[in-house]
Amino acid sequence: MTALTPSQTPAWLALEAHARATATLHTRALFDADPQRFSRMHAELPGLLFDYSKHAVTAETMALLQDLARERGVPEARAAMLRGDAINVTEHRAVLHTALRAQSDTGLVVDGQPVYPLVQAELAKMQALSERLGRGELLGHTGEPITDIVNIGIGGSDLGPVMVSEALRPFWREGLRAHFVSNVDGADLTGVLGRVRAATTLFLIASKTFTTDETLTNAHSARAWLLHQLGAGPEAVAKHFVALSTNTAGVVEFGIDPANMLEFWDWVGGRYSLWSAIGTSLACVLGMEHFDALLAGAADVDAHFRDAPLDQNIPVLMALLGVFHHNFRGAATHAVLPYDQHLHRFPAYLQQADMESNGKRVRRSGEDVVGYETGPVVWGEPGTNGQHAFYQLLHQGTGVVPADFLVAARSQCPLGRHHDKLVANCFAQTEALMRGRTLAEARAELRSSGLPPDEVERLAPHKVFPGNRSTSTFLYEQLDPRTLGRLIALYEHKIFVQGVIWDVNSYDQMGVELGKQLAKAILPELDGQGEVLGHDASTAALITRYRDLRRG
Ligand code: F6P
């Protein structure tokens, strides 16, 4: 990889010059000038189309971006990740979520251990658990079959499983339900416990480290509730608690027998862990065949990412387009807009995946702070709801917000004309964002509605849409497990490529630590009586006022 700062590389400088030279180009004009634009600016996987022709870019932009990818060593970095090099440089760890979904043994060895057999052994345990559940053979302490799974975890130990379980609701097995508790706010656990019966509930305690305070607090409260409800002693825990973790000692200390533990490894990052034992709630509620299909979908994309040339490589294209908008066009955020109600947690899932990975300011070597934008704010809501909330700003606001639109050709829940209407809205939004509406068009439209000339002039400026707002559209056959696996993996690899270009370590998360440390210090102070010392005046006043208010 080049020793130059990314923003000093020839390709970066060429992109800066190119961005200046093309600042006034409008995508509408690019479409008018080139009827073949769509055919040249899309890429495909079986059953999935990625259309990026509505981005405000030209063929030259794409060529320069590919130069940047090569100069930044993306192909070499990709090979290093896939062969298990310790690319998580701060933690000296390999990054091998791809190995969790490998469809055959490629002979990969990490820390002296062949990876494929390890993964397969854990998958076999997941399958066994899932099958016993499915057959009604998994019995609780009182002998009743388990019907409800409660996953207790947070961050990567929650968001992936929640998102997938919501996305694949129509695939849930009959008679089984999954619930998720993440927040240390007691309202979360209380809400879920109000919906389940202790005798028929299995708690999955999902924590890579098994030290996360929120998860352990919820797990201890869940255990106390269970034993109280059943009127049982600790012997009941074995029938109702399973641990998903890398930390056997922590699991034992909590009181879960290692026989009731599904394991994964430190080369699986938390936000990339839904493919591991962390996905056990999914294997349970969807059935193993669907979990396997999810893995197979991700593996399809791993192969595509590994083999497709850069200019046809969907995650690479997604990454490069993002880099162009964030670093050369001033976009600070990136919207993810699924026209798919069941993907309503997809933006939240991607927030962690992307922002915890690339929300960094120090270069991989630690030698300096980057002098350019890195990870954007990722946000979004499903369409069409978002259209009645924040799309106003997307169309007519002053900022640039590149956006991903995701939509299925076949609905998971066909109902009259609902799906065609949904799709029509999706396509209309990307067209409107791209085309905009000129002042002349606004005037003509107002005139044709019969308004007097002075009203036309008064209103026309407000009806102008600048257009030229860049969007990608992902059109897929149906949101099934395999397609969802593909979508997730596309974003995972996009994040990887951007991390390489920005020269940040996408695989640590040190930015979450300081707040955790301070919370530990503040907790005992909330019970204190005297003066609050050692804090700034604001924090000290808040602690004091909290104590007063809590007393009532
Ligand atoms: O938010 C920080 C973080 O470490 C995430 O990366 C992780 O997904 C989450 O906490 C939960 O961690 P664990 O699985 O170890 O409980």
Q: What is the pLDDT of residues 397-434, one digit of tens each?
A: 999 999 999 999 999 999 999 999 999 999 999 999 99
Q: What is the mean pLDDT of the chain?
A: 97
DSSP code for 106 = -
Q: Tell whether 423 is covered by a domain.
A: no
CA of 365 to the centre of ligand 1 (A): 24
Q: Is this model's pTM higher than 0.95 or not?
A: yes
Q: What is the mean pLDDT of residues 337-365?
A: 98
Domain of 116?
Answer: 97-292
User: Same domain for 144 and 247?
Assistant: yes
Question: Quick check: is 388 catalytic?
Answer: yes
Distance of CA 107 to the CA centre of its chain: 29
Extended strands (E) in 319-470: 333-339, 377-379, 403-410
pLDDT classification of 278: cutoffs 50, 70, 90? very high
- Token pair of 473, please? 């559209």
By DSSP bridging, strand 333-339 and strand 403-410 are: parallel
CA of 75 to the centre of ligand 1 (A): 29
Instruction: List, as one string, the DSSP characters of 19-78.
Output: HHHTTT--HHHHHHH-TTHHHHSEEEETTEEEE-TTSS--HHHHHHHHHHHHHTTHHHHH
User: Same domain for 444 and 532?
Assistant: no
The CA R_g of the chain, rounded to the nearest whole Å, is: 26
Q: Enumerate residues lining ligand 1, CB below 6 A.
A: 154-157, 207-209, 212, 215, 270-271, 356, 509, 512
Residue at a domain's end among 292, 319, 341: 292
CA of 193 to the centre of ligand 1 (A): 23
CA of 468 to the centre of ligand 1 (A): 39
Q: Over the range 87-121, which residues count as b (16 or more CB within 10 Å of their CB) and which as e?
A: bbeebebbbbbbbbbbeeeeebebeeeebbebbee
pLDDT tens, position by position, 149-186: 999 999 999 999 999 999 999 999 999 999 999 999 99
Ligand 1 pocket test, pick from 204, 208, 254, 276 with the greatest ligand atom count within 8 Å of Cβ, gives 208
Q: Tell whether 297 is covered by a domain.
A: no
Q: Tell whether 360 is covered by a domain.
A: no
pLDDT, position 402: 98
Q: Are 206 and 278 in contact (CB under 8 A)?
A: yes
Percent of the chain with pLDDT over 70: 99
Instruction: Give the separation between CA 246 and CA 328, rounded to whole angstroms.
Output: 41
User: Same domain for 136 and 211?
Assistant: yes
Q: Tell whether 402 is covered by a domain.
A: no
For residue 165, the one-letter residue type is: S
The total of structural domains in the chain comes to 3
Report helix, strand or coil for 173.
coil
pLDDT classification of 552: cutoffs 50, 70, 90? confident
CATH number of the domain where residue 519 is located: 1.10.1390
Query: Which atom, in ligand 1's list, is nearest to the CA of 271?
Result: 8
pLDDT classification of 459: cutoffs 50, 70, 90? very high
CA of 268 to the centre of ligand 1 (A): 12
User: Same domain for 451 and 525?
Assistant: no
Of 76-80, 117-121, 367-371, 498-502, minimum mean pLDDT range: 367-371
Q: What's the order of all strands across the beta sheet hosting 48-51? A: 42-45, 48-51, 471-478, 403-410, 333-339, 377-379
Q: What is the mean pLDDT of residues 453-468?
A: 98
CATH number of the domain where residue 153 is located: 3.40.50.10490
pLDDT, position 528: 87
pLDDT tens, position by position, 283-296: 999 999 999 999 99
User: Same domain for 144 and 229?
Assistant: yes
CA of 250 to the centre of ligand 1 (A): 15
Higher-pLDDT residue of 3, 346: 346
Ligand 1 pocket test, pick from 244, 512, 514 with the greatest ligand atom count within 8 Å of Cβ, gives 512
Q: Tell whether 126 is covered by a domain.
A: yes
Question: Quick check: is 516 catalytic?
Answer: yes
User: Same domain for 229 and 150?
Assistant: yes
CA distances from 146 to 132, 139, 173, 289 (A): 10, 6, 13, 20
**Which of the residues 174, 388, 462, 531 is marked catalytic?**
388
Query: Which atom, in ligand 1's list, is nearest to the CA of 153?
Result: 16
**Which of the residues 71, 356, 492, 525 is marked catalytic?**
356
User: Same domain for 462 and 532?
Assistant: no
User: Same domain for 113 and 213?
Assistant: yes
Query: Which atom, in ligand 1's list, is nearest to the CA of 269?
Result: 6
User: Same domain for 217 and 111?
Assistant: yes
Report helix, strand or coil for 130.
helix
CA of 217 to the centre of ligand 1 (A): 14
Q: Is the pLDDT of residue 1 over 50?
A: no
pLDDT, position 2: 44
Instruction: Give the separation between CA 6 and CA 68, rounded to whole angstroms.
Output: 9
Residue at a domain's end among 257, 292, 327: 292
Report helix, strand or coil for 412.
coil
- Token pair of 408, please? 């299925």
User: Same domain for 448 and 546?
Assistant: no
Q: What is the mean pLDDT of residues 135-141?
A: 97
Q: Looking at ligand 1, which residue's alpha carbon is closest to its atom 3?
A: 155
Ligand 1 pocket test, pick from 90, 91, 151, 154 with the greatest ligand atom count within 8 Å of Cβ, gives 154
Q: Hey, what long-range contacts does 304-312 have (CB within 8 A, 24 or more apart)?
A: 304/45, 305/78, 305/489, 305/493, 306/78, 306/82, 308/43, 310/66, 310/69, 310/70, 310/74, 310/75, 311/62, 311/66, 312/43
Q: Is the pLDDT of residue 236 over 80?
A: yes
Q: Tell whether 526 is covered by a domain.
A: yes
pLDDT, position 30: 98
Q: Tell whether 38 is covered by a domain.
A: no
Closest CA to 51 of 423, 382, 475: 475
CA distances from 508 to 76, 80, 517 (A): 20, 17, 17
Q: Is the pLDDT of residue 502 over 70?
A: yes
pLDDT, position 367: 87
Q: Tell whether 207 is covered by a domain.
A: yes
Residue at a domain's end among 271, 292, 313: 292
Q: Looking at ligand 1, which residue's alpha carbon is closest to its atom 10?
A: 155
User: Same domain for 131 and 207?
Assistant: yes
Q: Is the pLDDT of residue 187 over 70?
A: yes
CA distances from 526 to 188, 391, 539 (A): 22, 42, 11
Q: What is the mean pLDDT of residues 48-66?
A: 98
